Structure 1
């Protein structure tokens, strides 16, 4: 009987340990401002809030005012504004490996120290491999840079094959033409390996395997949906009145033209959508409201359809 009870207890404790381990595998948002979102299909962006877990392989985007701190056990990754990156985890426990694919922006990582390299940051210009350290990676349209606060980071340039091991207080910058290094206590050495291809394109490039820049902009807009629900749309003046018009368009709903004679009834803008509001002249068209012009002008009566020429 004791054997049966002991066996059941061991199985129960094993299940609890497994559940705790599985829970520790996920990255969780410890801090998150507005303008932070993630996607798992590169189409639908979901606002990321404090306490939420980030699905494995999800792309994460921060807007101009977005900031995010993810934690997983002793490890953390901080996202600065205008950053787009994905986090991919393979394996569990001590065999676990993490890959961060960073297309643009700035992230700061604090990685748990282990005997073997287990975390990699992939950018369009360089790869950074670490066993355990604290460092920052910045990625722009034409270059990427790594700055090390603690530990050791191996940085490799894809285009030239240049490689350098960076310690605390040292850094490297990589462009398509090569690598430059610097350090507070000494300049790190540069060796060479065979050039290779990047896993993620630079911002502005197109690659079906990763998120396009347009998708990145969509992610940044996902967390700002409340801002565009209302408030900024004018019922007249320079914005569109409604319908299909822009919430802050450029057309005049009743603008600068002359009410009669040879002038225009309502300037050059759209009353709503892409068409003209109507009336005797074009409410936002090029026709004349009276005089020698066209009664309905050449503008669109609404939407994208063509209006009727008047005599």
Structure 2
């Protein structure tokens, strides 16, 4: 019987990554729901399950229903839904240092107490440095906040250079207008240091990209569409409205014909009826719509140019 149990434990150790045998500097998932994944190359996402260890420097993503708790010795980090962060460990033993790079979402940390600061949380707006404490960091699209349950956390705003040491029951928020602090008892004191640049960019949406996908996902910050891409994607809409042509042969500014900038319509660029600057037919500048950006009013006064060329 004992031989049978030993064999089963051995097979479990071999089949479950990170289970039962982990390095002392390795974070292990003691709780993991669905929609929790990690990546090392920012391309391929791997499901993170209970009992698995997390590779050093891996990016971890939780979806709208994803929750995760990692443990390393007496330390723990809890991920709330819609969170994207990486954990980087340097050194080992008494000289070990940990850096959490948090791009968006909410994490709660319980860090072992040491004489010197050894754990840092980097966000797009602030950095939090601790010797040993329990605290929460929340990052949105335009701000970040720290709330301290126990111990002492030093918080620094990158843009304003404001800095404050937060104790139990105190907190700080950093946004475009600077740092604000509050808490139980005396209000935390704010000092100033030289402003600096954050190491992680802010997201545009406040949500991690492709959290539910396990392959072909990316942690790169979503980018806005270029003008050409917008033209290609908008087939049947333009700013403006219908209207009778003015002196320069346009309808109301921008028109609303179905199509994109540069299309044709009735009366533009001199009011010559059909056809105008920018081409004709079915949309221009990459557009697929019918109409133009110059409106569909009837032109007048051939002596004046189109202001919207």
Calculate the TM-score normalised by the size of structure 1.
0.61
- How far has the Cα of 1:180 moved from its partner? 0.1
Paired with 1:66 and 1:158, the residues of 2 have a C-alpha distance of 30
1:222 corresponding residue in structure 2 = 214
Paired with 1:83 and 1:124, the residues of 2 have a C-alpha distance of 14
Where in structure 2 are the equivalents of 1:149-298 lying within 5 Å?
A: 149-204=149-204, 216-222=208-214
Q: Unaligned stretches of 5+ in structure 2?
A: 1-19, 216-309
1:57 corresponding residue in structure 2 = 57
Paired with 2:193 and 2:21, the residues of 1 have a C-alpha distance of 37
Paired with 2:210 and 2:38, the residues of 1 have a C-alpha distance of 10
- How far has the Cα of 1:166 moved from its partner? 0.0
- How far has the Cα of 1:217 moved from its partner? 2.1
Paired with 2:209 and 2:93, the residues of 1 have a C-alpha distance of 35
Q: How many residues align?
A: 197
Is the contact made by 1:45 and 1:218 (CA closer than 8 Å) also made in structure 2?
Answer: no
1:67 corresponding residue in structure 2 = 67
- How far has the Cα of 1:22 moved from its partner? 7.2
- How far has the Cα of 1:168 moved from its partner? 0.1
- How far has the Cα of 1:88 moved from its partner? 0.2
2:32 corresponding residue in structure 1 = 32
CA shift digits 1:90-127 (9 cap, x unpaired): 00001000000000000000000000000000000000
Residue 133 (structure 1) aligned with residue 133 (structure 2): yes
Secondary structure of 1:220's counterpart equals coil
Q: Unaligned stretches of 5+ in structure 1?
A: 1-19, 206-212, 224-311
Paired with 2:56 and 2:42, the residues of 1 have a C-alpha distance of 14
- RMSD over aligned CA atoms reads 2.1
- How far has the Cα of 1:128 moved from its partner? 0.1
Q: 1:150 to 1:218 in 2, by over 3 A?
A: same
Paired with 1:221 and 1:180, the residues of 2 have a C-alpha distance of 37
Secondary structure of 2:94's counterpart equals helix
1:45 corresponding residue in structure 2 = 45
Structure possessing the higher relative contact order (Cα contacts under 8 Å, 6 or more residues apart): 2
Paired with 2:45 and 2:214, the residues of 1 have a C-alpha distance of 6
- How far has the Cα of 1:184 moved from its partner? 1.2
CA shift digits 1:222-266 (9 cap, x unpaired): 39xxxxxxxxxxxxxxxxxxxxxxxxxxxxxxxxxxxxxxxxxxx
1:10 corresponding residue in structure 2 = none
Runs of 4+ in 1 over 6 A off after TM superposition: none
1:112 corresponding residue in structure 2 = 112
Is the contact made by 1:160 and 1:195 (CA closer than 8 Å) also made in structure 2?
Answer: yes
Secondary structure of 1:94's counterpart equals helix
Paired with 1:105 and 1:111, the residues of 2 have a C-alpha distance of 19
1:253 corresponding residue in structure 2 = none
Paired with 2:212 and 2:113, the residues of 1 have a C-alpha distance of 33
Is the contact made by 2:22 and 2:53 (CA closer than 8 Å) also made in structure 1?
Answer: no
1:123 corresponding residue in structure 2 = 123
Paired with 2:176 and 2:119, the residues of 1 have a C-alpha distance of 24
Secondary structure of 2:120's counterpart equals strand
